[in-house]
Each structure stands twice: as structure tokens, then as C-alpha cells.
A and B are shown apart, each in its own frame.
Chain A
Amino acid sequence: NAGVMQNPRHLVRRRGQEARLRCSPMKGHSHVYWYRQLPEEGLKFMVYLQKENIIDESGMPKERFSAEFPKEGPSILRIQQVVRGDSAAYFCASSPGGGPYNEQFFGPGTRLTVL
């Protein structure tokens, strides 16, 4: 039973380019959370999605960032026109249900470097 998968594991972009980060949840999980970890900091919540729905995007920057979780395929976190401050590790976690009583399982992360 494969765990949460993320790709790419490492991504290098130049300022102004787009970054697309993918997350495939564990089998049977239909809830995905995205977190960002800036250097030397803890993880911070960005967005929570169920299949085809964004439930809570209170942690997403207002501009340039978007997320989706289509009916088929992985969840995608998209960052347009990246800037150096976007350099971070981005983790997704999946759970079998939403709410506080379902444990989240983390993927290996995507480390984004913006040159």
C-alpha cells in the first residue's frame, strides 16, 4: 500500500516561471492538505481540499497561488510567477476523512528553489 506520493521531489525555477507540485494521496483517501515549510520554520497550513472542492484556503497567499484536486488524478499546487520568497518545502498530507478525528499522513515533500 503506497503512501502519499509527491513529485517532483526537487524543483528549480527562475523568478517569474510557474511551479506545479503534485500530490497523490494514499489509496482510499479523498482529503488532501497542503503545508509549506520555510527554511528553519515549522509547517504552516495552506489549503484543504476534497475531491473537486476547495474546503479551506485560509492559509493560501492571495495572489499567484492556486490548488485543485480533480476527480481523476493528483492534487496540484500551482504557483505562478514565482519569487525567491516562495523557496520552501511543500508537503501534502492525506486523510480518509476531514475533520479533527482523522490522522493525516505526510508525503516526502517537494523542495522548491527559486533562482
Chain B
Amino acid sequence: ELKVEQNPLFLSMQEGKNYTIYCNYSTTSDRLYWYRQDPGKSLESLFVLLSNGAVKQEGRLMASLDTKARLSTLHITAAVHDLSATYFCAVVPNAGGTSYGKLTFGQGTILTVHP
């Protein structure tokens, strides 16, 4: 069974600081997603990482994927209050099995950015 683990689960940051959220997964995959969820809202797609070594950046967020280590990171640079939300990674196992593309999510990281 595919397991996806994020850490930390709770992250309290000061504005202006940097931090990294980690996402480990237990089976081969070369497709990983990062989502943002605000309270009571749906999931907003942030990044799709498709291959080993992939790095994508959008504003203050940068995501990377190391398929050999089965690890993805979401790095936050110079945090601002607007980034406060819950962040999820989600993994699709490689084709060849019967995953049918279903996503397995991490537990989520609740990020709070305060002055």
C-alpha cells in the first residue's frame, strides 16, 4: 500500500523567514502534486512534478522532486501572511499497476505565518 508522509504537520513561521516542507512516499512514482487548501475551500493545484530532478517555482514557493529518494520538498522563501493555508502533496504510482491515476495524499501541513 502506498504511503505518503509529510512533515512537519504543523508549521508556525514568522514573516520573512524561510522553511521547507517534506513529502516522502513509499513506492515508485514520477508524478507528484502539491496543493493548497484554505479553510472550508477546495484544493488549488500549485505544482505538478513529472520527473526526477524537476524543480518548479511560483512566487515564494519552490517545489522539487527526487524520485530516487522518493522525496519532494516545498520550499517557502520570505514567508508572508497570505501563504497561511494547509499544503498537501499527493502521489500517483507509476503506470503498470492498477492505480488508475488515483491520488494518495499526505496528511497535510498546516502553515501559519505571523508577523
Contact = CB atoms under 8 A, between A and B. Distances in A.
A35 B103 contact: yes
A109 B38 CA distance: 13
B49 to A, nearest CB: 12
Contacts, number: 65
A105 to B, nearest CB: 8
Q: Is the interface of B mostly helix, strand, loop or mixed?
A: loop
Contact of B95 (A55, A101, A104): A101
A106 B42 CA distance: 7
A55 B100 contact: yes
A61 to B, nearest CB: 16
Contact of A99 (B43, B95, B104, B106): B95
A28 interface: no
B93 to A, nearest CB: 7
A66 to B, nearest CB: 18
B105 to A, nearest CB: 4
A74 to B, nearest CB: 17
Interface in A32-88: 33, 35, 41-45, 48, 55-56, 59
Contacts of B41: 108-109
Interface of A: 31, 33, 35, 41-45, 48, 55-56, 59, 91, 93, 95, 98-109, 111
Interface of B: 31, 33, 40-43, 45, 48, 88, 90, 92-95, 98-108
Given A95-B101, A102-B101, A107-B42, 12 more contacts: A33-B102, A41-B107, A42-B107, A43-B105, A56-B98, A99-B100, A100-B93, A100-B99, A100-B101, A101-B31, A103-B45, A109-B42
